[in-house]
Amino acid sequence: MLTRPCLHPSRKQSNHSHKGTTPIPEIHGQTLGLRASQLAMLARLYRRRMPADDVISAEAAKTLAQFTLEIRRPIGLVITRRGAVQDVLVGASTEPSPTTLTTFRATPRALRGLRLIRSSLKAEPITQEDLTMLGLLRLDMIGTLAVSPKGEPGLLSLAHLNPPTLNAPLYTRLESTPVQQCPVRFQAFVGELESELQRESASHTMAKGQTAILVSASPKSKVEQEERLAELAELASSADLRVIERLVQRTQNSHLRFQLGSGKLKEVLAQAMQKGADLIIFDQDLAPGQLRAIAEMSSLTVIDRTQLILDIFAQRAHSREGKVQVELAQLRYLLPRLSGQGTSLSRLGGGIGSRGPGETKLETDRRRIRERIDYLEKAIEDFARHQDQRRSRRVRQDFPVLSIVGYTNAGKSTLLNVLTNSQVSAAPRVFETLDTTSRRLRFPHGREVIITDTVGFIRDLPKDLLAAFRTTLDELRDANLLLHLVDAGAKDLDAHIAAVEAVLKSLTLDELPRILVFNKCDQLPAGQADVLCQRYGAIGISSLHPETLRPLIQQLEDRLAVLAPEGGTFRKSTPPGPLASQS
């Protein structure tokens, strides 16, 4: 675990107050127990200046070793590219001060302009913790100077970051050498390294668009987590993101502060910085406190699965009703997560005069969100009334209703198009359909029914989203029969079926009669579809091959004749085959 340095207003302040003495420059880290004379000794390190081509000068290395032996603690020097000592650190895991990190900023295309050389009494090589700090802080270089029992400088071990090329390691360790024989000519070396970083990052960014690293941290098995990350990758792709890395950590218990261990989180953040990722997406939902804690550690954008799904819904919503439902779900999700740091709510209205007396920006944002939530809830109530009117007209026409339900991307819209000769958008990506679509379906013997297609389900569907879309999903209550469509090629078939059943149960729709249908059977090996259908008592089809739909159409017509014997109309003049007109 990296130790946060002590915070002081200025380097020129003293760690201890002594009357009649000159203020001692700030020494960061584990200074408890050090005498005033030792603090003054360490402060003299600020006077050192390295030649431009030296990682650390021989004189500075000698002084560093002597002082290390004196206080029996590791000492670190944070050195600028001009060779000045910016920070003096005490302790094996102390990192540069917040003031220094703010002054010297880093980006995916630029290093921070600082190097850290730390002494070691045990002659230990560079640790994984050091390498994590190298990547997370994007230092020019990090090094460990061994100190002999006599207080003399030993071997110098160095490491630096690599450009973000495909399958390349994040860093390179250089061979340990005596300080005087260090092969690195620092100024030329870091200039060349940063030029290569900028060149690779620029070409990488132009080729990739927005990128994301996916993370799963839970007690579930690695296989289960990888299956869930595969689904998360589909969601990311649907949001026009490119996944560049998937990371899995199995935890005994959820880490309350970061979801995963702090050390592992820093490794993840370091990889994201090194590879120029735009987002880190957690498969698990993050609590408001966890999001804030991670935000304090890095400036990278971190979201969870729920937020990704909400973003996809926001992209896909086209009707006014759909947009209102998505915005309501987003605001309900956002409200407990407001931290007051950089939150812009200008699109929610307000402006000059909207802030109450004595309110802080955070309080104003929360008030405006609650007002907007109230407005959207009333709008949804209006939609519900209009929906009731549509239902009444449908009842008067006495048409039975058949509703297609299923996991997202199971092929529901494609099936609707084939059955009714419609042109509903049916791109092969998750949550392509958000708004309920109704069409009139005419069976071969002339009976007409209303067939509806609505939003697809997914495991762990966000509660706020489910609540906001309850008005839309209430359309299913009118159904005489549900057609549960399943992607036969799904890796986790049982989980997909269970997720749909769970949503139906939460909506108290699990008692409605339904038919289980396996879609995309043409993509399975010969004979496997028949085995699956027998095992689950399902009908096998391929929406892309209309000739496979005959058994399904016959089954639907037979079931509806039993469930709604008085409904529908018969038109003997209608030719065989499913035809449709828009309702």
| Mean of all residue pLDDT scores within the chain | 81
CATH class of 209-311: alpha beta
Nearest to 97 by CA among 86, 106, 112, 107: 86
Which of 451, 454, 394, 456 lies closest to 419 in space, CA to CA? Answer: 451
Q: How far is CA 169 from CA 16, 162, 269, in A?
A: 44, 7, 15
Residue type, 50: M
Domain boundaries of the chain, sorted by first residue: 28-203, 209-311, 317-379, 398-582
Phi, psi of 402 (to 5 degrees): -115, 120
Q: Are 497 and 505 in contact (CB under 8 A)?
A: no
Q: Give, for 413, the enclosing helix (H) or strand (E).
A: helix 412-420
Over the stretch 269-287, which tens digit does the pLDDT of each residue have?
Answer: 888 877 778 889 999 888 8
Pick the CATH number of 398-582 from 3.30.460.20, 3.40.50.300, 3.90.1490.10, 3.30.1330.120: 3.40.50.300
Other beta carbons less than 10 A from residue 21's beta carbon: 11
User: Could you say which DSSP state residue 3 is in?
Assistant: B
Amino acid at 439: R
pLDDT at 7: 38
| Residue 282 three-state SS | strand
Q: What's the pLDDT score for residue 77?
A: 96
Which tokens sit at 232?
A: 């998360």
pLDDT for 567 = 46
pLDDT at 255: 60
CA distance from start to end of the chain:
63
Task: Name the residue type at position 22.
Answer: T
Please state, in angstroms and rounded to a whole number, the distance separating the CA atoms of residues 41 and 265: 36
Query: Do 209-311 and 398-582 share a fold?
Result: yes
Tens-digit pLDDT profile for residues 448-498: 888 988 888 888 887 777 777 776 777 788 888 999 999 998 888 999 999
The whole-angstrom separation of Cα 39 and Cα 36 is: 5
Residues 568 and 447: beta-carbon distance below 8 Å = yes
pLDDT value of position 395 = 57
- Planar angle of CA 39, 6, 147, nearest 5 degrees: 50
pLDDT tens digits, residue range 526-557?
A: 889 999 999 999 999 999 898 899 999 999 98
Residues of the chain scoring pLDDT < 70: 1-24, 108, 165-168, 200-209, 253-255, 339-360, 387-398, 471, 565-583
